[in-house]
Chains A and B, each alone.
Chain A
Amino acid sequence: MRYDTIIIGAGMSGLSAGVRLAYYEKKVCILERHSTIGGLNSFYRLRNRNFDVGLHAVTNYAEPGTRQGPLSKLLRQLRLSWEDFDLRPQLMSSIVFPGCTLQFTNDFAFFSEQVAAAFPDQVAGFRELLQRIDSHDPLNLERTPKSARMVVEECIPDPLLVDMLFCPLMFYGSATPRDMDFSQFVIMFRSIFYEGFGRPFEGIRLILKKLVRHFKSLGGHLKLRAGVRQIHQQNGRAVAVTLDDGTEIEADNVLSSAGAAETMQLLDPTVRNVTPPPGDISFVESISVLDCEPARLGHDQTIVFYCDSPRFHYERPCEPVDLRSGIICSPNNFDYSRPLEDGRIRITALADPRFWLTLPDDEYACEKQRWNERIIQGAVRHIPDFRGHVIDTDVFTPRTILRFTGHVNGCVYGAPEKFVNGRTPVHNLYLCGTDQGFLGIVGAMLSGITVANRYLLK
């Protein structure tokens, strides 16, 4: 069978692109190497409990029925309803730096007041920054890169406020160390501070299952355990792929969510193009299952972004884990009508992929445990000490991410250089997902939709 489009990867972006193409009666097949869907945002079951892989929160929250904004656009494009995603808003989150805390909810006015109260002499600058954010079109696919740090520092002279604004935005989406492209900054700023956080009661599996059912009901094909080993070119055009088991599948177009460097490595080695440098920003995450809701221990914040050093350092650390800063997320602390099955605390910190990827197998489990303890020790300076209530633990590292997503260096947000217009040097081979550059879960889905609309529906 020959397809109109083959999509590599059944994550958020690949599935969304698939839905668009299948809805318009294109013959489309999604190929996924893993035994399940989701990619970077997947889910699993461990010792009889459900876990989300990456999800802390879905950004870009909007009240059901909202007519504007990325989430509304996404649902319309996918012909899904607000109920399908069942997003419940966060309660309250905070950014905690030495001597200063800013809290935020999904109501931006509240955050503005927090900034004004903590930084009275920066109010004019903050307003100026908001104006620049509002007048910037981050979805322009032909944009040129610009340093976000330069723009923000031009508006806001106080380095503490600059760092506190960057901290959540970088943690939740920056593929580049120390600085972001201004468009990425604008996307993240809007998605986190203007729009905010939400989460489905059932976690990410709900959204993924809706997407995949919808895709299949429209006639789309999904093959799991079907990794692509090679993309074949003929006269500079992608024409077919070979799977790990040797099967060859032909298609008029290939859309890859595997990552820019990872996709280029799939091209015939004899005519290989330049491989863009992969990223190296990765994380270790400690997941604790508690015997009670975190609120019972006095912790009712949804997400706490903390930094214990005077300046925030977002870069690959020299140590296995950077204990100076992190993210504490409790999936329990969303506005649900009933409690989750158990209490959860997830703590995420920057990690050095080289350490975790080269660690001998027999030392891996021991190191995971050691660093898990140290990460928690750092985090309980900011939230109530929950250690007496832990009934189960899981930890993921860059090694886990590499294993399940194939991302070089186990990097979470992909390559530093984005391919915003989705094109590659090979005709009919397009990129979507992390390396196209729309961020977050909603961003990933919009990425698949945008690239499918632009090139694959014509």
Chain B
Amino acid sequence: MNSEQIRQVIMDSLERSAPDEDLSDLDDARPFREQMELDSMDFLDIVMELRKMYRMQIPEEDYPHLNTMAGTVAYLLPRLRDVAVGT
């Protein structure tokens, strides 16, 4: 997957975790938490969804990388580069 595809995967996951949020204006550089009602429970969900979809482990100490969309995509890109979309 490329950056754009990974971004879409995260967007889908956010929409499942927070269906009442309007994500169309999401700023990739700003923390998710400043832009939406996202608490630690929702955050855990996004990590869990990735784990479920791609059988990948994300250790807790890496969570700070996942504060923004840009950070998340950058973190996931090397880990998902060889994964096909939709798997």
Contacts and interface: CB of A to CB of B under 8 A. Distances in A.
B41 interface: yes
Interface stretch (A8-16, A75-83, A312-320): A75-83
Contact of B42 (A66, A76, A81, A457): A76
B18 A453 contact: no
Interface string B25-58: 0000000000011010110110010011000000
B21 interface: yes
Contact of A24 (B16, B37, B39, B52): B52
A67 interface: yes
Contacts of B21: 67
A13 to B, nearest CB: 16
B20 A24 contact: no
Interface string A16-47: 00000000110000000000000000000000
Contacts of A65: 20
Contacts of A453: 41, 44
B49 to A, nearest CB: 9
Contact of A67 (B20, B44, B51, B52): B20
Contacts of A76: 17-20, 41-42, 45
Majority DSSP secondary structure for residues of B touching A: helix
B20 A73 contact: no
Contacts of B45: 76-77
Contact of B37 (A25, A68, A450, A457): A68
A286 interface: no
Contacts of A66: 20
Contacts of A25: 52
A449 B48 CA distance: 14
A417 B34 CA distance: 37
A451 to B, nearest CB: 12
A60 interface: no
Interface string A333-367: 00000000000000000000000000000000000
Interface string A57-74: 000000001111000110
A457 B48 contact: yes
Interface string A428-458: 0000000000000000000001100100010
Contacts of B17: 76
Contact of A72 (B20, B44, B52): B20
A67 B35 CA distance: 12
A25 B48 CA distance: 10
Interface in A67-106: 67-68, 72-73, 76-77, 79, 81
Contact of A81 (B19, B39, B51, B52): B19
B13 to A, nearest CB: 11
B36 to A, nearest CB: 8
Contact of B16 (A73, A79, A450): A79
Nearest to A454: B44
Given A67-B20, A79-B16, A73 B48 contact: no
Give the most central of B16, B21, B42, B48: most A CB within 10 Å: B48
A70 to B, nearest CB: 11
A24 B18 contact: no
Nearest to B42: A76
Contacts of A450: 41
A453 B42 CA distance: 11
A24 B13 CA distance: 13
Contacts of B41: 73, 76-77, 449-450, 453
A66 B37 CA distance: 10
A97 to B, nearest CB: 38
Interface string B51-80: 110000000000000000000000000000
A299 B51 CA distance: 54
A73 B39 contact: yes
A73 B44 CA distance: 13
Nearest to B49: A24
A449 B20 CA distance: 20
A272 to B, nearest CB: 34
Contacts of A73: 39, 41
A378 to B, nearest CB: 43
B47 to A, nearest CB: 10
Nearest to A457: B48
Interface of A: 24-25, 65-68, 72-73, 76-77, 79, 81, 449-450, 453, 457
Which 8 pairs between the two chains have the least Cβ-Cβ distance?
A67-B37, A67-B20, A65-B20, A24-B48, A68-B37, A76-B17, A76-B18, A24-B52
25 contacts: A24-B48, A24-B51, A24-B52, A66-B20, A67-B18, A67-B36, A67-B37, A68-B37, A72-B20, A73-B39, A73-B41, A76-B17, A76-B18, A76-B20, A76-B42, A76-B45, A77-B41, A77-B45, A79-B16, A81-B19, A449-B41, A453-B41, A453-B44, A457-B44, A457-B48
Given A24-B48, A68-B37, 9 more contacts: A67-B36, A76-B17, A76-B41, A76-B42, A76-B45, A449-B41, A453-B44, A457-B44, A457-B48
